[in-house]
Amino acid sequence: MRWEVISANHYVVNDHRKFVNIALIGFMGTGKTSVGRLVADMLRFDFIDTDELIQTGTGRSITDIFNKDGEATFRTLESQTVGELAGRANTVISTGGGLPVNPKNLASLKAHALVVCLWSSPEKIWERVRHQGHRPLLHDKDPQAKIRELLAAREPFYKQADVLLNTELRSVREVAQQVIHQFRLESSGRR
């Protein structure tokens, strides 16, 4: 599936929601961190990354947690971290690629944030992540097949975002501007 243009899932946006934060979801290598940092800079918001919070909180790397304790432990830490974000405001939250697979995580983010999904094709994702070794799920004998498989399995979860944005043909700046545009549009209608 390819989202060539921005599309907003207005039908899932509940009228009573207040957006005080922006949460970026999406697969590894779709640009969540670089876009998130720029959006935060441009809006003068704080920037946080759920993986970084987990690493700081545990004093361990994500790879170490996966290798020694397993993915399930990492997912529990991830959910706890999301739950702790509820009191935040004026924050751009970049999330780990597998986080929205747990519906409770997405519901928790939607309580305070406009949820924007960044999307890229498996080919583009591979191009971006192939020289980075810090993602345990891609320590696989066929990482390209793994990307395709995970992306297909996660697509229904990613599509529950409020806004879907294809980052493949856009610069980081263009994506950041689109995110801000959507945030302003959605939050101004809700004041």
Which residues in this chain contact ligand S3P in the complex, by CB under 6 A? 28, 32, 51, 62, 96-98, 135-137
Q: Which is nearer to ligand S3P, 145 or 185 (CB)?
A: 145
Closest CA to 116 of 187, 16, 42, 190: 187
Shortest distance (Å) from residue 56 CB to ligand S3P: 14
Shortest distance (Å) from residue 188 CB to ligand S3P: 30
Token digits of residue 12: 């899932």
Q: Which is nearer to ligand S3P, 110 or 135 (CB)?
A: 135
Q: Which is nearer to ligand S3P, 17 or 126 (CB)?
A: 126
Cα(174)–Cα(191) distance, integer angstroms: 26
Shortest distance (Å) from residue 10 CB to ligand S3P: 26
Cα(69)–Cα(119) distance, integer angstroms: 29
Shortest distance (Å) from residue 97 CB to ligand S3P: 3
Q: Which residue is nearest to ligand S3P (CB)?
A: 96
Q: Please return the burial class of 70, using the count of CB atoms within 10 Å of its CB with bins 0-12, 13-18 and 19+.
A: exposed
Contact 137, 47 (CB under 8 A): no
Query: Apex CA 81: angle with CA 79 and CA 82, to 5°?
Result: 65
Q: Which is nearer to ligand S3P, 51 or 168 (CB)?
A: 51
Q: Which is nearer to ligand S3P, 22 or 28 (CB)?
A: 28
Q: Which is nearer to ligand S3P, 13 or 147 (CB)?
A: 147
